[in-house]
Amino acid sequence: MTPPTHRASITLPDESTARRVVDALSELYFEDQAAFAAFERPDGRWDVTVHFAEAPDQALLRELVGQVVSRQDVASTLVFDTIEAKDWVKASLEDLVPVAAGRFIVHGQHDRHRIPPNKLGIEIEAALAFGTGHHGTTRGCLLLLDHVLKAYQPRRMLDLGTGTGVLGIAAAKAQHRKVLASDIDPPSVRVAEENARLNGAGHLVDVIRATGFAAPRFAEDGPFDLVLANILANPLRQLAGPMARHLASSAQVILSGLLTHQAPAVIAAYRARGLVPLRHLKIEGWSSLLLRSVR
């Protein structure tokens, strides 16, 4: 059982405001005093939630948020509550039922026995990295990957922004080939490496820490026949040029992490670099795209 925790929540107008608030609060509290989470809503606004080990100074928090957003009326919407003691590990395992996506089934350790022999099981536990398979973007990517591999046999594969490593592991297990996986976040790199070993793919999935395509390994291991990138819309648009330069002829690219209304702008950015859209999946308000290089 975990002890009761204290929580503060607020909805902010956009990503930049959410980031400023999280940055300001991060400077006020040490890592063992508070944990932060920020998520984009389908309407484009952002929810920021902070969990505290001890009851926070509510007046101080409202004042700080008001200074960051320059609007006290927004700061006044900050909501405080207390979360009762609960066995969160047990509760999360009960909620995380296996998720099927084509030939792939993403599951936790407690569901190993439920994976049919004709499916590829990918064991991923909830961790400090994005991607347990339950989010619409991860499922969309896995469905597109299953579709691609029915008619295409990529030799050089990249999982950009790997998170828990679920996409890279899926590609490696399906193809029995090496996959280069990268993430900007050191904890994600560790989690992805551990998950690859857990799934018997540690020898196939090579995880590196890298920002964008800056690391030398991308040039060494490329050009890539298949790229999977489940990130966010703005980074995906910014990476269109560098990604196109690391693609083999007729390469296929699976993109996700974008809300449905953001898809046209992402598609336009990649069209300008010689990639055409082939499929567009929409799941729970999120889009996953399959594109092919025509250069």
Q: What is the pLDDT of residue 89?
A: 45
For the chain, give percent helix, strand, coil, nearest 5: 40, 30, 30
**Residue 24: HSE in the Cβ half-sphere, 13 Å Cα cutoff:** 17
Helix (H, G, I), strand (E, B) or coil at 139: helix
Closest CA to 270 of 242, 231, 232: 242
Sign of the C-alpha dihedral, residues 195, 196, 198, 199? positive
Sign of the C-alpha dihedral, residues 206, 179, 244, 259? negative
Other Cβ atoms within 10 Å of 76 Cβ, number? 11
Q: What is the pLDDT of residue 209?
A: 95
Q: What is the pLDDT of residue 50?
A: 87
Q: Report the distance separating Cα 259 and Cα 160, nearest Å.
A: 18
Domains of the chain in start order, with CATH, are 5-86 (3.30.70.120), 130-293 (3.40.50.150)
Edge-to-edge order in the sheet of strand 157-160: 205-209, 179-183, 157-160, 224-230, 247-259, 286-293, 275-283
Using a cut of 0.85, tell me whether the model's pTM lies above it: no
Q: What is the pLDDT of residue 289?
A: 97
**Residue 120: HSE in the Cβ half-sphere, 13 Å Cα cutoff:** 21
Question: What are the average pLDDT values for consecutive 10-residue runs of the chain, which has 295 residues?
Answer: 74 88 79 75 86 86 86 84 60 60 86 85 66 70 96 96 93 97 90 94 96 94 97 92 97 93 95 97 91 93
Strands of 54-110, DSSP E:
79-83, 99-101, 104-107
Q: What is the pLDDT of residue 169?
A: 97
Find the helix or strand (DSSP H, E) in which 19 lies: helix 15-28
Q: What is the pLDDT of residue 1?
A: 45
Output phi, psi for 50, to 5 deg.
-125, 130
